[in-house]
Amino acid sequence: MRRLMLLGINHTTAPLEVREKISFSADQQRLALELFRQRFPDSECVLLSTCNRVEFYTARTLEGQPGVKEMADFLGEFHRLQPEQLKGHLYHKTERAVIEHLFSVACSLDSMVLGETQILGQVRSAYDSAHQLQATGPLLNPLFQRALAVGKQVMAETAIGEGRLSVASVAVDYARRIFDRFGDKTVLSIGAGKMSILALQHFKELVPKKLLVCNRDPAKAQALAQRFDGDPVPFETLYDHLVAADIVITSTGALQPIIVKHSFEAILKRRRYRPIFLIDIALPRDVEAAVGHLDNVYLCNLDDLQQVVASTQTTRHDAMDAAQKIVGDHVEEFIVHHRARELGPVIERLQRHYHEIARQELQRTMGKFPDMSDSERAHLEDLTRRIVNKILHEPIQAMRQRGHAGDIDESLFAPHPHPEQDERV
Amino acid sequence: MPEVSLLQLAVLGIAVALFAVATVAFIIRSRQGLARAERIGRACFWVGTLIVVGTLIWHSADRERWLPLGDNFSALVWLALLLALFIAYMQRTRPLVALNGFLLPIVVVLLIGAGIFGRLQPHQYVATAWTGVHLVTVYAGSAAFAVAAAGGLMYLLANRRLRNKSTMPSMNLGSLERLEHLTLYAVTVGFPLLTLGLITGLVLILSDPKNSLGARWFTSPKVLLAFCVWVIYGLVLHSPLNPSFRGRRAALLSVLGFVLMVGTLIAVQFMPSGAPH
């Protein structure tokens, strides 16, 4: 029997300043999984790290490690954070609550932007990474596969994603509130990730005078620039291009801000205080928050943009009900299915045990009748097998039924909500 | 010279009411996007404008003088009409509905001022060529600065909303870039007019050593305020050259300049004209 646990932090429990400290880049994610497996070799684990959440899903034996404290310590140690920095921001869930939460996450019911589709890909990517590192096992494999199926079904069968604004389209709206014309403007993209591509697709439609792509990897910059008819520019000359740019989309994987206030003040002077719109969609943030306080600088980070998007979701509440029903049905199905999987070996062991007892008793009895024919021997063997099966039939049926009723393995399928299952740490 | 008749004031009152309705309609239009509100606003605006033109012609016919600057009534009505014509021009070229909501209240205030000052305190000017140029340029400059102040105020509001990351703009104010251009354009038009107005005013004062402001005319609040307005708009005008003044600061200065300009106009009402009698 295995125990499901989740420790996480998300946009509802922690501001961007905290989330960016605990987020994982792709490399960090792999490293964290390896370290986690080294420290807790008997546990399964998947690490989901997005702009809005970092969640550690684990499955372990009933008495095994890690517990909530060990998981929180691991997170803190990995990012060199003091426990008090995370205090009040982390939440943990166990058993059924984990299943419900993961399914809700996968279909964006728990997202800041209801109906966003990116989260499904992020869940898939988190699962794939863990699977490749053999960090998943008999519980997390079916759980995540089911979560992905739920996410797909909700997106396909409900209107949850309809009429939704994207973060990039909101950024364009903001740009329109700053600039009147775009034919004389320069758009600079720093970073060449998925978010940059999405944003550039929208800004390209404004037909700017120039589109620049700046990346540490010149090949990536070249490829992205080519795709959007722009010009690649070297990362080393970033500050020169910030002087020329009017709209800057930044989405790098840098762990420290690449645009800081004291440098940007000098840039502003060189720009002759022309207005500049900085769209920081990176996590950790690329632009120091203080830059946004400068005159003629308009800074929007991911939270700012997502809040605007989230404000449009009131129209999709009917779709939410439908999505929640799908999630609820899948949670029940998964629990039933999983109980059956967990009961299988127990039943098999039980049957083997009783049949072995019967076989030994039969051998002893048959030893007292040396003249017994093969046919008689076969009849006796058949008799004992039927007796054992009939004796075990009722207990096994009862086990299966009780399993369905939810009290055969309280450690795994405790009823929800449970006061201790969803708590801030 | 005949005073403003009660009937003329009553007709002007209708225009004021129509402009007030138009203001509300344009504000509703820019907040809620109701096309019907805009239609109502436009209708009220055009009828109000025609009434103002009619009143001005009627009053000029009574006075038998067609330069509409001979007294407070005609001067303020003329100023209001200039603003209304600018709004009409904007509506036809590059509509900015929210601007109507900011400029029309100034039109309403000017018309109310014309009603009050024109009736109770007739203020007549000596008709010389210099006086004519002085009044035309000062009033036309004032109209331009009213536009600059409206643009500046809209800029400040739009800027604040952007900084507060307000989710949905409650009023479509237009882009900051457009508002900045509008402000700068209005100041570019208004500043030479004001400069000419000040120079001609100075000529009027200096040409008569017995002018009503006395020998220490340069300490007169009217002159000092007018000079302050000139300096402020000079700074705004030069914001492209001195970019640390651009954006929010230029917008603030435009609003401040207009407040001082209004102060100057009020000072003109309550102080000797400075023109030779």
Lowest-confidence region among A222-226, A248-252, A418-422, B152-156:
A418-422
Q: Is B163 on the interface with A (CB under 8 A)?
A: yes
Active site residues of A: 51
Q: Would you place residue A202 in the very low, low, confident or very high pLDDT band (cuts 50, 70, 90)?
A: confident
Number of domains in chain B: 1
pLDDT tens digit string along B246-273?
Answer: 888 889 999 999 888 888 877 766 655 4
Within a domain: B64: no
3-state per-residue secondary structure call for B189-258: HHHHHHHHHHHHHHHHHHCCCCCCCCCCHHHCHHHHHHHHHHHHHHHHHCCCCCHHHCCHHHHHHHHHHH
pLDDT of residue B170: 64
Q: Is the dihedral of CA A152, A154, A157, A159 positive or negative?
A: negative
Class of domain A167-310: alpha beta
Query: Residue A304 and residue B177: Cβ atoms within 8 Å?
Result: no
Within a domain: B130: yes
Q: Is B151 on the interface with A (CB under 8 A)?
A: no
The percentage of residues in chain A with a pLDDT greater than 90, rounded to a whole number, is 31
SS3 A277: strand
Shortest alpha-carbon distance between residue B164 and chain A (Å): 10
pLDDT tens digit string along A152-173?
Answer: 888 888 877 776 667 888 888 8
Q: Is B238 on the interface with A (CB under 8 A)?
A: no
Q: Taking the CB of residue A186, how many other CB atoms lie within 10 A of it? A: 19
pLDDT of residue B275: 44
Class of domain A2-163+415-424: alpha beta
pLDDT of residue A414: 36
Q: Would you place residue A277 in the very low, low, confident or very high pLDDT band (cuts 50, 70, 90)?
A: very high
Q: Is B57 on the interface with A (CB under 8 A)?
A: no
Query: Residue B176 and residue A308: Cβ atoms within 8 Å?
Result: no
Within a domain: B23: no
Residues 307-326 of chain A with CB under 8 A from chain B are 307-308, 311
Within a domain: B94: no
- CB contacts of A292 in chain B (<8 Å) are 163
Query: Residue A311 and residue B158: Cβ atoms within 8 Å?
Result: no
Structure tokens at A24: 């994982």
Within a domain: B263: yes
Amino acid at B48: G
Average pLDDT over residues A244-265: 90
Q: Which domain holds residue B148?
A: 125-270
Per domain, the residue ranges of chain A are 2-163+415-424, 167-310
- Checking if the pLDDT of B2 tops 90, the result is no
| A279 contacts A256 by C-beta, under 8 angstroms | no
Average pLDDT over residues A289-314: 83
Residues 235-274 of chain A with CB under 8 A from chain B are 272-274
Q: Which residue has the higher pLDDT, B62 or A299?
A: A299
pLDDT tens digit string along A32-55?
Answer: 999 998 998 889 999 999 888 999
Within a domain: B67: no
Within a domain: B71: no
Q: Is B174 on the interface with A (CB under 8 A)?
A: yes
Average pLDDT over residues A228-257: 90
Name the packing angle between helices B97-120 and B35-63 (round to 10°).
30
